[in-house]
Amino acid sequence: DLGYDAGSKELEDMPMGSYTFLGCGYEGTVSIPGVLARFDLNVLSGNVTLDEELRKNGHIATSTTINGRRALFELDPNNSDTCRYVLETRFGVVIFSRLYQKDHPGPVPQSEWCVGLENSVSTLERFIRD
């Protein structure tokens, strides 16, 4: 319902020493050049705390809440066309990272990287069971 293709789901796991991230990635709707851009979404759960994430990425993070849940909004100007929300959970965090797949040559204005993502994350947050 949010514009991602469930058939494109790819499972991901990223063990990193004492930390582990498990999740899946989804391709967005089909892109029509010059008309419709596609957004790809990765959803990861990890056993790091929100405070650890803030210490790591505080230079690009803004504290916020999603449906009353403590969260970070992260926008890194050096990571073009991507933005993310990191939500606190009992087990660690859930990360929603979206990539804007542009439909034209040249850069996408930074002001467009995250358009609509907060609403999508707000909808998906309701499915986090912790």
Query: pLDDT at position 48, please?
Result: 95
Q: What pLDDT, in 10s, does the model give residues 71-86? A: 999 999 999 999 999 9
Contacts of 89 (CB under 8 A, 6+ apart): 45, 128, 130
Task: Find residue 38's DSSP bridge partners.
Answer: 101
Q: How far apart are CA 87 and CA 95, in angstroms?
A: 6
CA 127 from chain centre, in angstroms, equals 15
Structure tokens of 92? 């660690």
pTM of the model: 0.88
Kindly state the DSSP code that residue 79 receives in the 8-state scheme. S
Say whether pLDDT at 67 is over 90: yes
- Please state whether beta strands 4-16 and 38-46 pair in parallel, antiparallel, or not at all (unpaired): unpaired
Q: How far apart are CA 129 and CA 116, in angstroms?
A: 23
